[in-house]
Structure 1
């Protein structure tokens, strides 16, 4: 039996590309999302091998259903990828609590809920890696997107502590700290074209994750990541 990858939030543009790469490597993939028909259509269009793929319904915000979802999985995962995402603009988030709250639920609370269940499963002794898709927006608070960024920052910190918690079990935890990605979530935003990365590029970073915790895909974004981390507050306050 091949190893199993559980992809949560499987309908994201990055997740779908990662699924294809995992399938190419011979993994069995459980693609979990609210948009099961969209995933099925996409995978069919890309001639994904059906025997290696299981598609099932998962709602990151339906916390009360997470235990039933996990217990019903046909195979328990060796690798878990959490890629669920949702975004509203910062201006909308400041006046629309439902939008803010949903970002918190999808990016943080939902991740904590399901991942906690996974790591506490005493019957799964082959769990080896957990990968979370976070964002450079969570590295430093900026006035243009601090509500969204705060949800990603919380997720990153959860993964950092989880990595320490699972160290003795030799379960590796990685966080993908990504910059601008060409995706459904960024469609319509005014972004510098030279900084936009393709979903397939981020997917390869997921597939090729090694032992280090923070993975920042792209040379330019590695530099931006370091600048943001160590930039003096007086300069950071002038950022958009």
Structure 2
């Protein structure tokens, strides 16, 4: 019998390409998956097209930016999760974000505020003795402010710092919090962007790091991105300013 047979994973923002691959891999490992997203039709199609066991996957509506609905969403779950993955994300071009606050606001709401809202509700439910791990998907864009994407990057930087503090908050309950610091992925959110093809990761590759997350807070998939991550952290502002 698979040791994960009775464990449940809640994936928030489950319609992302990486989150969908997580669904497959968690089910393969014996977990039951609750996949939550605004686009439940797309998730239904994905489950059917990949022949996922319907007894192991349930699909729920979840809007990361509808903060008022989060409490009811969580407390209406039929099973409280052992693992929670926050994969919701939104991106607009930096110039658009600077000239039209609507896009900037949506990035803040989905990438940061929505995560703070729902993960705080989940983390503070001490009656859920199942909870053993919370995983948040962040980005290399949040390591240093760069002129090409600093509005988006600021939302990811804030989310990473929230996860770092949440890890400390939950340590006494032996609940692990991980932050995935992710570089370029071949996903819908990056379509149309001019990216270095040698650095692009596939969604299923990134998903393996999420599903196999260990005890470390910061997880950076891919050796090249680990190098970039450490270099970025150490770069002085004068050199960061020369980056695109």
* TM-score band, normalised by shorter chain: over 0.9
Alignment of 1:79-98 (within 5 A): 79-98=83-102
Q: Does 1:209 align with 2:213?
A: yes
Q: Indicate the residue corresponding to 2:74 in structure 1.
A: 70
Q: 1: distance between equivalents of 2:196 and 2:141? A: 16
Deviation at 1:122, TM superposition (A): 2.5
Moved over 3 A (4+): none
1:12-48 Cα shifts (integer Å, max 9, x gaps): 0000000110000010100000000101101110000
TM-score by length of 1: 0.99
CA distance in 1, matches of 2:67, 2:19: 21
The CA distance in 2 between the partners of 1:231 and 1:4, in whole Å, is: 41
Quote the Cα distance in structure 1 between the aligned partners of 2:101 and 2:238: 30
**In structure 2, C-alpha distance between the alignment counterparts of 1:164 and 1:41, rounded to whole Å:** 39
Alignment-derived partner of residue 101 in structure 1: 105
Q: What is the CA RMSD across the aligned residues, in angstroms?
A: 0.7
Q: Distance in 2 between matches of 1:25 and 1:77?
A: 16
Ranges in structure 1 where 5+ consecutive residues have no aligned partner: none
Q: Of the candidates 221, 228, 233, which is equivalent to residue 224 of structure 1?
A: 228
Deviation string, structure 1 residues 91-147 (Cα, Å, up to 9, x no partner): 000011110000000011100100111011122011000000000000000000000
Task: Look up the SS of the partner of 1:50 in the other structure.
Answer: coil
Normalised to the residue count of structure 2, the TM-score between the two structures is 0.97
User: How many residue pairs were aligned?
Assistant: 240
The Cα of 1:173 is off from its aligned counterpart by 0.3
Three-state SS of the structure 2 residue aligned to 1:51 is: coil
Aligned to 1:49: 53
Structure 2: which 5+ runs fail to align? none
Indicate whether 1:60 and 2:60 are aligned. no
SS in structure 1 opposite 2:147? Answer: coil
* Residue in 1 that maps onto 2:40: 36
Match of 1:152 in 2: 156
